[in-house]
Structure formats: C-alpha cells, structure tokens
C-alpha cells in the first residue's frame, strides 16, 4: 500500500540540502528588498483620501508566490500594509509574511512613525518593529535579536539617520508631475533604507523604453530603470549572494506613468540571483480618490 506521508517525508529530506543552499542564494530577494523595488510614487497634492491596492506575482527559480499591497493617504498622513506568500519545492517549503508602516509626508518626503514586519516559514519565525523620530530610527526590536558576528558589518548610529523603512520607501520616490516621455526624470531616484537588520541604498537610472502588455491586448509605454543595490551594514563580509546582487547590472524596474493620478506604477521588477532570475510582475492595480477618480490596470 502506497504511504503518501512517508513519500512526502522522503522527498522533503532529499530536498533539504538543496533548500538550505537555495534559500541562502535567494536571501537578497527578501521582502524588504523586493518591496523597496516597488516604489509607488503618489503625490501629496491629492485632496481627501487616496487609496491604492495592488497584487504582484513573484516567480523565482525555486518557487513562486504573490505580494498584496494596500495604502491609504489623507493629507500628509499615510498608512500602508502588505503580505507575501511564497512556496518552493512543490509546496514542501512555505514562507508567509506581513508588513505595515505609517507616518507623515513633509516636502514630498516620507517621515515614518512605526514599521512592523513578521515572517514565518517551516523552520523559523522572525519579527521586527521599529519606531522612528524626526531624524531616523529611534528604537529597534527584533526577534531573534540582531547578534554581533565577526564577519558582520555592524550597524551604527550613523546608519540609522535619515533613513526610511522598506514600505515608506515606496513614497520616497515621489514626483510632482510624472512625465509620459522623459525616462530620465522617471528613473532618476535614490533612497536610503533600513529594514531592521540591514542598511542599504537603492538607486535608479534610466535604461530604455519598453511596452507593458495589459489586459484586452492593451499596452502602455514603460520606462525601464536600471536599479543598483548597495549594501552598507548589517550583512556579512564576503557573502556571495550579497556581493552578486551588489555587482549585478541586470536589476530592473519597469515604471508605467499615470499622469492623472500623479504617480508611476511599477509594472515589473527583475532581480538576477545566483541560481537564475526572480521577477515580480503586476497582476492587478487600482487607485481611487476624489482627484484621481477610479483607475485600474490588470494583466
């Protein structure tokens, strides 16, 4: 008689070593880095409340998943939340996470107040909570805690100044008047990010134009931006996966302009990793507000 539970156990054991290697290589594709490459650029000029909802499909060499995002902005106040689900090795490995952030916007720049992140997999769980002051991170609570390591570049006070959390980074790429034709203007952006464990920069520059395929055979012009990931602290020296990401010239983010909504919508994110290429592609997007009306995009 075929014993399904025994079969699953043997397959999982055979995949365990491969999983350990793959997860180390895919580690730069953490939620903090992924959502930092999804910079919704809402303008603060909208009167009343503006809400955004979006879903992205995540595909990687070892598995696939989805990232759900929602935000609300009223005046200079904002709040955002997201959740991600990822499965690998035919569903034998599962990773779920949730993230939330709120704060204020001054001079078209976000000033975070509270950031919270939690994640759970088959083998471990972690949680991070940060409180911000006017100049940067004020307090960090991490489970498991951030323990010193001889190979790890320590995070000091200077790394915590004038930074934003990964979700607030979505608002840090604000543009007052998105352009339909100027790719350099769309992509010329840089932001300092701290996710509770690592401090890094994300910088965009114009690469080329492309067409974003939408539902019903429609297409829109997209600006393809070259993205650079620069780790500064919190990571281990000579980490192969981190070094590969930092030296990669293949990181891209495709931005579709929505002038009426005064924002760019990330259509596609391409992240080369050591075992292939990971992507996050737009599945659905909706914005609603008193100034913008209702605008929806879908693939």
DSSP secondary structure letters along 231-242: EEESSBTT-HHH
User: Does residue 143 sit within a domain?
Assistant: yes
Quote the pTM value: 0.84
User: Does residue 21 sit within a domain?
Assistant: no
User: Does residue 260 sit within a domain?
Assistant: yes
Whether 35 and 167 have beta carbons less than 8 Å apart is answered as yes
Within 8 A by CB and 6+ apart from 287, the residues are 50, 51, 52, 53, 258, 261, 263, 294, 295, 296
User: Does residue 144 sit within a domain?
Assistant: yes
Q: How long is the chain?
A: 299
User: Does residue 226 sit within a domain?
Assistant: yes
pLDDT at 45: 47
User: Does residue 18 sit within a domain?
Assistant: no
The tokens of 155 are what? 């995070």
pLDDT at 174: 55
Nearest Cα to Cα of residue 89 among 169, 20, 167: 20
Q: Three-state SS for 91?
A: coil
Spell out the per-residue pLDDT of the chain, length 299, in tens.
445 555 445 544 555 444 454 454 444 444 555 656 555 555 444 446 888 899 999 888 878 889 999 988 888 899 999 998 888 877 777 888 899 999 998 877 889 999 999 988 877 899 999 999 988 999 999 999 988 889 999 999 999 999 999 888 877 655 556 666 777 888 888 889 999 999 999 898 999 999 988 876 778 889 999 989 999 999 989 888 888 888 988 999 898 888 777 778 888 988 887 778 888 899 998 888 877 778 888 77
- Write out the residue range of the structural domain in which residue 216 sits: 27-298
How buried is 177 (Cβ within 10 angstroms: 0-12 exposed, 13-18 middle, 19+ buried)? exposed
Nearest Cα to Cα of residue 114 among 167, 160, 53: 167
User: Does residue 17 sit within a domain?
Assistant: no
User: Does residue 13 sit within a domain?
Assistant: no
How many domains does the chain divide into? 1
């Amino acid at each position: 008689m075929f014993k399904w539970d025994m079969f699953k156990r043997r397959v999982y054991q055979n995949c365990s070593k491969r999983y350990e290697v793959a997860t180390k290589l895919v580690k730069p594709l953490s939620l903090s880095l992924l959502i930092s490459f999804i910079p919704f650029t809402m303008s603060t000029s909208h009167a009343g409340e503006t809400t955004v909802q979006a879903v992205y499909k995540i595909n990687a060499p070892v598995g696939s998943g989805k990232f759900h995002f929602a935000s609300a902005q009223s005046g200079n106040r904002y709040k955002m939340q997201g959740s991600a689900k990822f499965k690998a090795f035919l569903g034998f490995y599962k990773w779920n996470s949730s993230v939330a952030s709120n704060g204020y916007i001054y001079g078209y720049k976000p000033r975070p107040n509270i950031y919270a992140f939690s994640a759970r997999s088959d083998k471990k769980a972690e949680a991070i909570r940060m409180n911000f002051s006017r100049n940067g991170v004020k307090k960090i609570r991490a489970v498991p805690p951030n323990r010193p390591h001889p190979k790890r570049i320590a995070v000091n006070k200077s790394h915590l100044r004038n930074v934003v959390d990964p979700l607030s980074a979505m608002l840090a790429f604000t543009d007052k008047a998105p352009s339909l034709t100027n790719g350099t203007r769309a992509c010329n952006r840089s932001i300092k990010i701290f996710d509770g464990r690592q401090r890094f920069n994300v910088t965009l520059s114009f690469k080329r134009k492309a067409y974003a395929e939408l539902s019903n055979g429609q297409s829109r012009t997209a600006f393809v931006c070259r993205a650079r990931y620069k780790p500064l602290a919190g990571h281990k020296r000579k980490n192969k996966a981190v070094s590969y990401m930092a030296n990669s010239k293949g990181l891209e983010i495709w931005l579709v302009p929505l002038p009426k909504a005064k924002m760019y919508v990330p259509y596609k994110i391409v992240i080369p990793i050591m075992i292939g290429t990971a992507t996050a592609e737009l599945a659905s997007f909706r914005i609603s507000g008193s100034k913008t009306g209702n605008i929806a995009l879908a693939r």
